[in-house]
Structure 1
Amino acid sequence: MKQQLKVKDLVTIGIFAVIYFILMFALGMIGMVPILFLLYPTLLGLVSGVLIMLFMAKVPKPWALFILGMITPLGMFAMGHTYVLPVHALVVMLVAELIRRAGSYRSFKADALAFGVFNTWICGSLMQMLLAKEEYLEMCAMMGDDYVKGLERLITYPHMALVYLGAFVGALLGALIGRAMLKKHFAKAGVI
């Protein structure tokens, strides 16, 4: 059975994208302290797990997660981030979409794994420091010299490996929290 996205699904994607962006932005305030910026992807996975798992339960169709996942990085690119962010997100979202497809869009394990991969898109924000350093530092200059120097010291390839791992593990834990919340509250309320 082939499921295609309908207008209702696109509206749902838009609503969830706005909620996700607000959540991401609010949590992103911890990035004002450079060392905490490295923990941000892990925390984002933990906190957004309920939202993304609810989204995947409500829209179990091809390309829904891909579209949701590309909205924020494309918006950030339009606001001045480097090309690294949308290119990185494109690769990440394609992998997440393939994982969901392998689970026929109805498997919790596939959805949790897809969310783990999905959540690594935010690591692209930090990878800008390594792959497009001059442009990224120019963008961060408004935060002050101390902030920029702190980022330069902290964002290294070994640290990024830990950030990616944290993002993935945080999302898996967020998926488990999301699943518990879906069963306990959303299913009983008839939301899903």
Structure 2
Amino acid sequence: MKEKKLKIKDLVTIGVFAVIYFIVMFGVGMIGMVPVLFLIYPSILGVVTGTIVMLFMAKVQKPWSLFILGILSPLLMFAMGHTYVIAVHALGVMVIAEMIRRAGEYHSFKHNMMAFAIFNTWICGSLMQMLWAKEKYIELSMMMGKEYVDALEKLITYPHMALVYVGAVIGGIIGAYIGRALLEKHFNKAGII
């Protein structure tokens, strides 16, 4: 397959989808106000954003487009005061997701689905901050109160995080299937794709 380069209109599309994704991600993230729900946040995020990202992948079938879309939210969070963990974690995740998508030549549903499932694990990096940059993360979380931080400290353990990653992948797969169903049913009829 001859690789196509990203053009200005692709970068604009990436920007638009990144804004939509960030707004939805922020909205879903509100469940984290209850500490125990923070553990299912990545799963729910995958289910909810699957349609957005699958539509994006249908519209922009070019190298590095998913990587760029996926790295913008964690970089913004890093710029807003999160630790280096979120950016470094997301960088690794997005490279893997991009390689999976590339293996399917950008138009294979199976590869796009798996790419999104991996893509969706980037948000686990926000929780991994508690394990890999604990002092800074506690400092960031203190605005929620000491009880909240204490609850997070008890909840965010390596065994729990293993389950969170599995949940993120499963949520991503479910979200990809929901996205595919909506793409086939509505977006094709509307001539969006």
- Shorter-chain-normalised TM-score: which range? over 0.9
Q: TM-score, normalised by structure 2?
A: 0.99
Could you say which residue in structure 1 is the equivalent of 2:149? 148
Structure 1 segment 129-168 matched on structure 2, within 5 A: 129-168=130-169
2:173 is the alignment partner of 1:169: no
Q: Which runs of 5+ in 1 are unaligned?
A: none
Could you say which residue in structure 1 is the equivalent of 2:127? 126
Structure 1 segment 1-192 matched on structure 2, within 5 A: 1-192=2-193
User: What code does the residue aligned with 1:62 have?
Assistant: P
User: What code does the residue aligned with 2:120 have?
Assistant: N
The percent identity for this pair of structures is 69
In structure 2, the residue corresponding to 1:189 is in which secondary structure? coil
- Measure the CA separation in 2 of the matches of 1:14 and 1:47: 19
- Measure the CA separation in 1 of the matches of 2:85 and 2:3: 34
Over residues 98-133 of structure 1, what are the superposed CA-to-partner deviations in whole Å (9 max), with x where a residue is unaligned? 000000001000000000000000000000000000
User: What code does the residue aligned with 1:37 have?
Assistant: F
- Measure the CA separation in 1 of the matches of 2:91 and 2:188: 32
How far did residue 146 of structure 1 move? 0.5
How far did residue 2 of structure 1 move? 2.0
Over residues 115-154 of structure 1, what are the superposed CA-to-partner deviations in whole Å (9 max), with x where a residue is unaligned? 0000000000000000000000000000000000000000
Root-mean-square deviation over aligned CA pairs: 0.4
Q: TM-score, normalised by structure 1?
A: 1.00
- Measure the CA separation in 2 of the matches of 1:174 and 1:50: 6
User: What code does the residue aligned with 1:21 have?
Assistant: F
User: What code does the residue aligned with 2:24 have?
Assistant: L
User: What code does the residue aligned with 1:55 have?
Assistant: F
- Measure the CA separation in 1 of the matches of 2:114 and 2:140: 33
Q: Which runs of 5+ in 2 are unaligned?
A: none
User: What code does the residue aligned with 2:60 have?
Assistant: V
In structure 1, the residue corresponding to 2:6 is in which secondary structure? coil
User: What code does the residue aligned with 1:49 have?
Assistant: G
In structure 2, the residue corresponding to 1:188 is in which secondary structure? coil
- Measure the CA separation in 2 of the matches of 1:3 and 1:34: 44
CA contact (8 A) 2:3 2:63 kept: no
In the TM superposition, structure 1's runs of 4+ consecutive aligned residues that sit over 6 Å from their partners are none
- Measure the CA separation in 2 of the matches of 1:186 and 1:97: 24
User: What code does the residue aligned with 1:161 have?
Assistant: A
Over residues 22-70 of structure 1, what are the superposed CA-to-partner deviations in whole Å (9 max), with x where a residue is unaligned? 0000110000000000010000000000000000000010000000000
